Amino acid sequence: MEIVIARESGFCYGVKRALHLARETRRQENSTVYTWGELIHNPTVIQELEKEGIIPTENIDNLKEKTVVIRSHGVSPEIYNLLEKKAKKVIDATCPIVKKIQKLTSRLAQQNLELIIVGNPNHPEIKALLGTSGGRAVIIDKESQAQALPFSRRRAVLAQSTQDRELFSRIVALLVDKTQELRVYNTICRSTQIRQQSTSELASRVDVLFIIGGISSSNTNKLYEISKRIQPRTYFIEKAEQIRPEMLLGVKKIGISGGASTPPEAIQEAVAKIKNICQESGYEEITVQCPR
Ligand code: SF4
């Protein structure tokens, strides 16, 4: 029996940085610190942070005389100004890669062209980007929405940092036919691209694949969709105890991948649970291949 863990499983650089900044701020302040919304989309981590005195809020009245940390997804300029006015201190943990996309969006919004962002309209990163575009960007996340767009003389298109690369490519291909001059900015971050690629490669060479992460995490959902297209036996698992013996029936090679907000412990717990089930089923030799 073999367990293979995908490359880039677990916390990305931006999430690690935001967690470090929030904890460091809590240590220095020595009192409750707020985050504007949940710092990351993982309920286990959010519960741990709450115990440490790092509390999510989107109620501006909670912030009087308090320090607030902006999460890796960033916020719109309106929210940023509001936080600066109301809170004692603002710690900006927006991922530097997301910051660059915000600057690009703001620059493009001032030009004479239509701006398309391929992303989830309910995701905080996209809400922030809509804000940096001054409300000018058109947000789409389906091919049918691209098909419905009218012909345009000048367009620019970019993506949410965690967008599915294949979907982005398909939407770009549709826009080529509807635009005289199309500028394409591939703003999907490198960590996301490696994560998606390693998950799809793994999906094609294992008998079952577990995607570990928070159910509300957009990038983890994307990994699930990517894997499911290739490997029908793909399971979205929030906690290791959800892995059941029947999911492993008849398998020899098991894959594990995790989203950008999945803590390393969650991956280790999944490995331990699988080993446990396999040992109970009589497998004596179980190897675990970790990413290099
Ligand atoms: S997925 Fe990429 S852009 Fe998004 S927070 Fe992580 S490192 Fe930054």
Spatial separation of the C-alpha atoms in residues 100 and 186, rounded to whole Å: 12
Q: Which pLDDT does position 284 carry in this prediction?
A: 63
Residue nearest to atom 2 of ligand 1 (CA): 189
CA 253: distance to chain centroid? 26
pLDDT, one tens digit per residue, over 48-63 is 999 999 999 999 988 9
Note the pLDDT of residue 287.
Answer: 78
Please give the domain boundaries of the chain with CATH numbers for all domains.
2-10+191-289 (3.40.1010.20), 13-94 (3.40.50.11270), 97-188 (3.40.1010.20)
With a 6 Å cutoff on the Cβ, whether 159 touches ligand 1 is no
Q: What's the whole-model pTM score?
A: 0.90
Neighbouring residues of 118: CB distance < 8 A, sequence distance ≥ 6: 140, 141, 157, 158, 159, 160, 163, 167, 168, 171
Mean pLDDT across 218-233: 94
Longest C-alpha distance within the chain, in Å? Answer: 67
- pLDDT at 282 (0 to 100): 76
* 39-48, 116-125, 130-139, 143-152: the lowest-pLDDT one: 39-48
Residues 77-90: pLDDT tens digits? 999 999 999 999 99
Of 92, 191, 219, 262, the residue with max ligand 1 atoms within 8 A of its CB, to mutate for a pocket test, comes to 191
* Helices 13-29 and 96-109, packing angle to 10 deg: 110
Q: Pick the closest to residue 171 from 190, 156, 161, 181 (CA basis).
A: 156
d(CA 216, CA 239): 13
Q: Does residue 284 or residue 192 have the better pLDDT?
A: 192
* Catalytic site includes residue 125: yes
List the one residue out of 275, 206, 287, 284 whose CA is nearest residue 240.
275
**Catalytic: which of 8, 38, 114, 125?**
125
